[in-house]
Chain A
Amino acid sequence: MNRLLISGIRSRSGRVGGSSQSSDAGGARGRVVRRRGPSGRKLSRPASSVHRTRPVGETERSDSIPLVSVIIPVMNERRTIRRVIREAFAVHPSTEVIVVANGTRDGSSVIAKKAGARVIEYAEPLGHDVGRAVGAEAARGDVLLFIDGDMVISASRLRPFVAAVLREGVDVALNDYSGPTAKPIVHSVVLAKHALNAMLQRPDLNGTSMTAVPHALSRSALTAVGAESLAVPPLAHAKAIRLGLRVKAVHHVNVGKLNPPRRERERMKPLEYVIVGDHLEALEWVLGRGDDRCGFVDQTRKRHYAR
């Protein structure tokens, strides 16, 4: 797979990109998808107000190393990407926004460049969560914030994740969201997250996980777990906990967009298999470092009698 281009910094980003796709991008402009912030205010604003929402000092930021890197994997998200990027830039005065566009056919990457993001572009889809790892490798900030391109989350709801890393010494600041659990049967992904935390001896984390956005990482956490492991988020999650990093659920953002529960014996969706497999891969890494039971001993069991 060829990496097509990495756009420049935001000051010249408006000139990068194919003009054939800009008309698509223009078509999305002005479309208002109503999503509300915690106070109920609409997050979407007319395009003309974009520049006013950007914090001051952006010119120096282009040349110096940013404090915060926001990483946004994008496929075909032209309806939301502009607003996602705008909120990302508003998280902190010293912020770079990295968009990893993969398999994009709807002009999302052009919009992203115009909105000032550094765009890393791949012609083909990279597969689930690989974009996060690619973006993390390119990031220069001390704090890495991971969000999705299809979900507009206001800057005020993203800041707690960055603040937890910057000011509270948290290494991995998770979304305090455990999925819909007030039901007798939960989604397989929700179950896997809860089970992994139980196996990691962190049942207090419930179903919170690096699988879910938003979450933030310290630079030292990234170094410890390795950028490549972010392509398998439960693996990075398990590594962070087992390597003794401070992993904490810091703020609740309801990203509940999971599929409704399956009827019994109904086939699982392909993405569910990927994510369940990710959790097993995480367990395998933990098992490779220690005993066969992750520290859950059975010393009272006299196995030699059982043959």
Chain B
Amino acid sequence: MSRGRRGKRVSTEETPAVLPVDCRVSAVVTVLNEEATLPLVLRELGKLPLEEIVVVLNGCTDSSLSIARSFPQVTAVHYAEKLGHDVGRSIGAKLTKSDIVLFVDSDIPIGADRLKRFIAAIAQGADVALNDISPFLPLFRDWDEVTKMKAFLNLSLGRPDLRANSMTCVPHAMSRRAIERIGSGMLAVPPKAQAAVIEAGLRIRTAAAVNVLQTNRVRNSNVGKDNEVSRLIIGDHIEALKYAMNAGGSRLTNDDSGRRRHVVMRRQL
């Protein structure tokens, strides 16, 4: 995505980073050959009062596993094969029993001060604390299809205020209550999890703004307008909409009772 400098900066509702003393907090990190950035990610997480750090390694052929094991607090889970997008998050969420779970990726080191805000938001009563990417988005005309789908899903679910913020994006944090309510398996398709969270009436909001658009590692599969990852995420949003429509009806809450369709039907008979 091109980065617009002309995009108006949108103020973010920042949560004060006051960490709870009576909550157990853990982090879930998914890893696919990230030996360069994994130590930086784990070092930042080490500054937080975490009960455990669940590192889900999949398809790693580099030294990521030994790096993970060298850090205290780390519970490493290792799969020889690639699990595919977001499946690792679901596995990690199932393994930890903490009250608050912070989800991060191993390719984007984020300072502990920033990460604290997501944990704090859950401690203050939110069920899902999202990363607010609004300040970093370009003008709409330069949005990619994935960003449009994120915003459309929120709009359809009656939460246009969430804009293009999504559980597809890290970092984000969840309450144990939310994970148990929707089921950890849902997290393998993050937009579907988001639909389930909103449908269940759980509290979802943004907690801090971290620019992951610039720092996301460029891979062969995520470059170009119609790349593989982008197609996967668009599909995730369609699946999320279908899930929501199965539960809430084909128009969700978007009523058109003023429309007299029977007029056309009757004329056709």
Q: Do A and B come from one complex?
A: yes
Residues of A with C-beta under 8 A to B258: 125, 127-128, 270, 274
CB-based contact A127/B242 at 8 Å: no
Contact partner, A298, options B137, B140, B236, B259, Cβ 8 Å:
B236
Query: Are A296 and B238 CB-contacts (below 8 A) given A130-B260, A284-B250?
Result: yes
Does B94 belong to the interface (CB within 8 Å)? yes
Residues of A with C-beta under 8 A to B86: 301
> Once bound together, how far apart are the Cα atoms of A14 and B242, in whole Å?
52
CB-based contact A274/B140 at 8 Å: no
A273-B254, A300-B232 known, 19 other contacts, Cβ within 8 Å? A1-B263, A122-B263, A130-B260, A184-B8, A191-B140, A194-B148, A203-B145, A231-B259, A231-B261, A280-B250, A281-B250, A283-B241, A283-B245, A284-B250, A287-B242, A296-B232, A301-B85, A301-B87, A305-B83
Residue ranges of B at the interface with A (Cβ–Cβ < 8 Å):
7-8, 10, 79, 81-87, 90-91, 94, 134, 137-141, 143, 145, 148-149, 151-152, 155-156, 160-161, 163, 184-185, 187-189, 225-226, 228, 231-232, 234-236, 238-239, 241-242, 245, 250-256, 258-261, 263-265, 267-268
Chain B proximity mask over A156-200: 1 for CB below 8 Å, otherwise 0: 000000000000000000000010011111101011101100110
Residues of A with C-beta under 8 A to B138: 184
Contact partner, A126, options B143, B161, B163, B263, Cβ 8 Å:
B263
CB-based contact B91/A293 at 8 Å: no
> Once bound together, how far apart are the Cα atoms of A134 and B265, in whole Å?
9
CB-based contact A183/B85 at 8 Å: no
> Once bound together, how far apart are the Cα atoms of A186 and B81, in whole Å?
42
Interface positions, chain A 245-293, Cβ under 8 Å from B, are 262, 264-265, 268, 270, 273-274, 276-281, 283-284, 287, 292-293
Does A303 belong to the interface (CB within 8 Å)? yes
Expressed in whole angstroms, the minimum distance between the Cβ of B252 and any Cβ of chain A is 6
Q: Per DSSP, are chain B's interface residues mostly helix, strand or loop, or mixed? A: helix
Expressed in whole angstroms, the minimum distance between the Cβ of B254 and any Cβ of chain A is 3
CB-based contact A264/B261 at 8 Å: no
CB-based contact A134/B141 at 8 Å: no
Contact partner, B155, options A133, A192, A274, A302, Cβ 8 Å:
A192
> Once bound together, how far apart are the Cα atoms of A106 and B140, in whole Å?
40
Does A297 belong to the interface (CB within 8 Å)? yes
Question: Contact residue range for chain A?
Answer: 35 or more
Q: Which of B140, B251, B265 has most A Cβ within 10 Å?
A: B140
Does A306 belong to the interface (CB within 8 Å)? yes
CB-based contact A280/B156 at 8 Å: yes
Query: Are A227 and B254 CB-contacts (below 8 A) given A127-B260, A184-B139, A199-B238?
Result: no
Expressed in whole angstroms, the minimum distance between the Cβ of A295 and any Cβ of chain B is 8
